[in-house]
Structure formats: structure tokens, C-alpha cells
Amino acid sequence: MARIAYVNGRYRPLQGATVAAEDRGYQFADGVYEVIKVLGERACDLERHLDRLARSLAALDIAPPMPRRALESVLFETLRRNRLADAILYLQITRGTAPRNHLFPKGGRPSLMVTVRRPVFPGEREREEGVGVITRPDLRWGRCDIKSISLLPNVMARQSAAVAGCREAWLIDREGMVTEGSASNAYIVDASGRLITHPLNERILGGVTRSVILELARRDGIEVIERPFSLDEAHVAREAALSSTSSWLLPVTAIDGRPVSNGMPGHVVRRLMALYGEHLEVV
Ligand code: PLP
């Protein structure tokens, strides 16, 4: 079945769905996006995603293209037209189309594009054995909290990870701290069983999955510490993990080819994976 996309008021076959050559997203990466997991036709944690979208738009001074409820209708209609019960919804909003000029266009209308695809969630093996990450310098800009479509450093880092046969690249800042992955948040568990992850600030994207995981951990009595951790700490951690909408929560069992602890997923991360499954109502 042909995939259907929504672009600026129209539902069309994805193949013929295009945006204008002078769309500011295309020319300046002047836009934001969201990725939402759909399970059994339910858009998981939709409110949190739409809250973050509103924050990203406000931070860049881009007007929402429509009210929130109307946007939800567009999302569900695009989903319905693609006839997938489990899916990944992608939505992108840019500052719109205008003659190329760095200045914001006056009275411009933002562009909205929505696509849906069949999800590729982690398999049994990755969940049971964990995944490997490599490390790369964090070359990104100073507002990583905005879910901007400007992702070139992330793309470069992720590509290096794939070439190295790894799932993800963890990004290391100038102080030697792990900020996050190229497309996921990063965690370690210390010798006392505490879950440690970078605090919310301009250096990381506040993942929706991260916010859920931290809530589930605290509710379960797992101590959570939001502070930067160094690569050295990660190498001697008892456990490590990454999270994102499409990766869910996954154990990280090797960093730069060195096993984390005994190279197998540990019980804190396993417990959180089970709780996250319950949160999504899939177990
Ligand atoms: N950090 C970055 C840089 C990301 O690109 C993503 C997701 O794409 C995440 C973290 C995880 O965010 P979420 O859990 O909302 O998918």
C-alpha cells in the first residue's frame, strides 16, 4: 500500500509529496520535529511530545501552524490513511517558504509535514544482550534542548557508529562528560545501583522516553541522579543504557569495544525495561 503523507493541508502519496525549494527548513534547517511511537493505534506519551513541540517552536519563535487539537486530528488522520496499528509518526514544522534571506520572513506561514512509517523496534537479541556504543566528540550547537531539524553532527556521529558496527555514538563534551547519544539519551548505573543521567539543560535533548524512565525509576525506589557523568565513569559503571522513542530502553553492554561490567545487561536496566513495557501496556 502506498504511504500517505500530509503536507500543508493535503494528504498525498508520499512519493509525490514535496515542499517548496525555498522552504526555510530545506535552506536553513529552520524548523523542528517530533517522532512519536504508535502502538495498537495509541500514540504513546502524545501529550509529552506535543508539550516538547510547543517548547521547541517557542524557542525558535515559529508560530504553531494550527491549534493543538487540530494537529492531533491531522496526526491521527495520517495514521488512519496509512493503516498501521504500530507505527512511527514523524512531524516536521518549518518557518515556511520565503525568498532566501536569513531574516525571519514577515507574515510567513509555517509548513507542516507528517509522515508515518512501519516501526523497526529493537529485537529480542538487542534487548537480551544489549548493544554497543562508540564515543565521538560532541560537535553540536549550544541549544541541543530544541528538537531542531539541524542534525548534521548527529548524522555524522551515527554514521560512524554504524561503520563501527555499533548501535549508537555517545557524544563527549569538552570536559570529557557524556552528554547523550546521537539520537538517544544516555545512562549509567553506579556501584550503589543509582541511575545517573545528564541533567536537563541546553546540552541535551530532554527525551520523552527519558522523562518517563526517570519517573518510573523514582516510583520504583531506584535513586536517580541527574548530573553529567564522565566517560571514565561510564567505563567502570555497573550498567549502562540508552533510551529513545524508537529504541525504547536498551542496555548498553560495550563502550568503545570495552565491556560494561561483565558485558551483560544488569538488573536495574532490566527492571526499568520491564516497567517501561508496562507503561506502554505491551506486557
Ligand atoms: N537525544 C537526541 C539527540 C535525540 O535525537 C533523541 C531522539 O531522537 C533523544 C535524545 C530521545 O528522545 P525521545 O525519547 O523523545 O525519543
Is a pLDDT exceeding 90 seen at residue 1?
Answer: no
Dist. CA 106 → ligand 1 center (Å):
32
Quick one: pLDDT at residue 160?
A: 98
Quick one: pLDDT at residue 108?
A: 86
Dist. CA 10 → ligand 1 center (Å):
28
- Give the model confidence (pLDDT) of 68-89 as tens digits: 999 999 999 999 999 999 999 9
Is a pLDDT exceeding 80 seen at residue 33?
Answer: yes
Atom of ligand 1 minimally distant from the CA of 144: 3
Give the confidence band of 162 by pLDDT, cuts at 50, 70, 90. Answer: very high
Give the confidence band of 282 by pLDDT, cuts at 50, 70, 90. Answer: confident
Alpha carbon dihedral 161, 162, 164, 170, in 10-degree steps, equals 10
- Give the model confidence (pLDDT) of 201-255 as tens digits: 999 999 999 999 999 999 999 999 999 999 999 999 999 999 999 999 999 999 9
Q: Tally Cβ neighbours within 10 Å of residue 191.
A: 9
Count Cβ neighbours within 10 Å for each residue of 86-120 and write b for 16 or more, e otherwise: ebbbbbbbbbbbbeeeeeeeeeeebbbbbbbeeee
Q: Is 106 a catalytic residue?
A: no
Q: What residues line ligand 1, using a CB cutoff of 6 Å?
A: 35, 154, 180, 183-185, 205, 207-210, 243-245
